[in-house]
Structure 1
Amino acid sequence: MAISTIAILESTVSMLNGNNFSEWKENLLFYLECLELDLALREDEPPTLTDTSTPLEVTKHERWERSNRLSLMFMKSHVTKGIRGSIPECKKATEFMRAVEEQFVSSDKALASTLMKKLSSKTFDRSRSVRDHIMEMRDMAAQLKSLEIDISDSFLEEERLKQEKL
């Protein structure tokens, strides 16, 4: 793969900053797959090499080790220092990903809860245009959707109609 293509792909993976875990993970997995570095995330570690290991087993082990090492380095380089400090030291890419996920499952739930409360209690206060109010509500719905919580368009349409009656 050309260096410019790799750079473009790499630029799609933003730094994990605490508010973007789902997007970070999706882009990271896509990047690693495009570069064929996701082997360590898809397959278990092969058995330890011995004196009787076949050349095929040696090759498979070396490919897995390279994938694990590079995946781990890339993941760590795309996590802010503040977050990296709260994640235990890991030797395997899968362990690191699991540790990061554990950090953000509760964070995503808290964010989703906050957004749901804001969205359901949001009222038009005439301090700005109806359009701005609707756009803010759509933005909250988009954030919830990124957290895999789907808000139907009918809910937003009902809210828009309520606001127009005011």
Structure 2
Amino acid sequence: MASLNPLAMILSQKTMDGTNYSQWKTNLFIVLEYEKIKFVLTTPKPGETAADASEQIKTQYSEWQKANNVARCYILASVASHLQEQINKFESGAEMIQTLDGMFAKSSSAARQAAIRSLMNTRMTGGSVRDHCLAMMSHLSRAEVIRAKLEEEMQIDIILESLPESFSQFKMNYNMNKKVDSY
């Protein structure tokens, strides 16, 4: 059983009421990733296990059920009560998210374009590299939530490209080390 972790507190800070859907979904994905149960939102529910099923099949089914139950609880606990009533009937967290997407997600194309625009237009203009990288990771997370597909290597390239010219030596070292590792 998963314990309430400190990271889950981000979901309790502001209940999702529809006006904050994108940020809520990003936070939910962070918490589910931390709990290592985000897979239930993308993995179909396994079929009922037969009495003569292997232990591995029974374990997979049981683990999916437990993870789904925790995900459903996180979702239900972090949405407004009128939304709880509408989505509580669904057996899986994935069905809950699909329903909420239908209710609150912007046009996926427009939202994806806005997320990519934010990502591509962010440049480090001062402050710490750490803060800049956290901002870039936030943009990448938003893009992932709305299903913008960016390979890991592309994400790294985008972050490196957002750094100022003063990081040219760092970028060159990174690229040279990457080439050496690929041999």
Paired with 1:72 and 1:47, the residues of 2 have a C-alpha distance of 19
* Distance across 1 between alignment mates of 2:9 and 2:21: 16
| Aligned-pair Cα RMSD in Å | 2.9
Paired residue for 2:45?
45
- Cα distance in 1 for partners of 2:85, 2:46 equals 29
Distance 1:87 1:65 in 2: 18
Give deviations 1:62-91, integer Å, cap 9, x for gaps.
Answer: 000001111011101100113333446201
Q: State the one-letter code of the partner of 1:100.
A: L
CA distance in 2, matches of 1:149, 1:20: 19
Query: What is residue 10 of structure 2 aligned with on the other side?
Result: 12
Answer yes or no: is the 8 Å Cα contact 2:76–2:88 preserved in 1: no
Does the C-alpha gap of structure 1 residues 70 and 18 become closer, same or farther in structure 2, counting only changes over 3 Å? same
Tell me, which stretches of 5 or more residues in structure 1 are unaligned? 113-143, 154-166
TM-score, structure 2 as length reference: 0.54
Provide closer, same or farther for how the CA distance between residues 85 and 46 of structure 1 changes in structure 2, counting only shifts above 3 A. Answer: closer
1:148 to 107, 115, 121: 115
**What is the number of residues matched between the two proteins?**
114
Runs of 4+ deviating beyond 6 Å: none
Residue 25 (structure 1) shift: 0.6
Contiguous gaps of at least 5 residues in structure 2: 122-183
Match of residue 61 from structure 2: 61
Find the aligned partners of 2:24 and 2:89 in 1 and give their Cα distance.
20
Q: 3-state SS of the aligned residue for 2:115?
A: coil
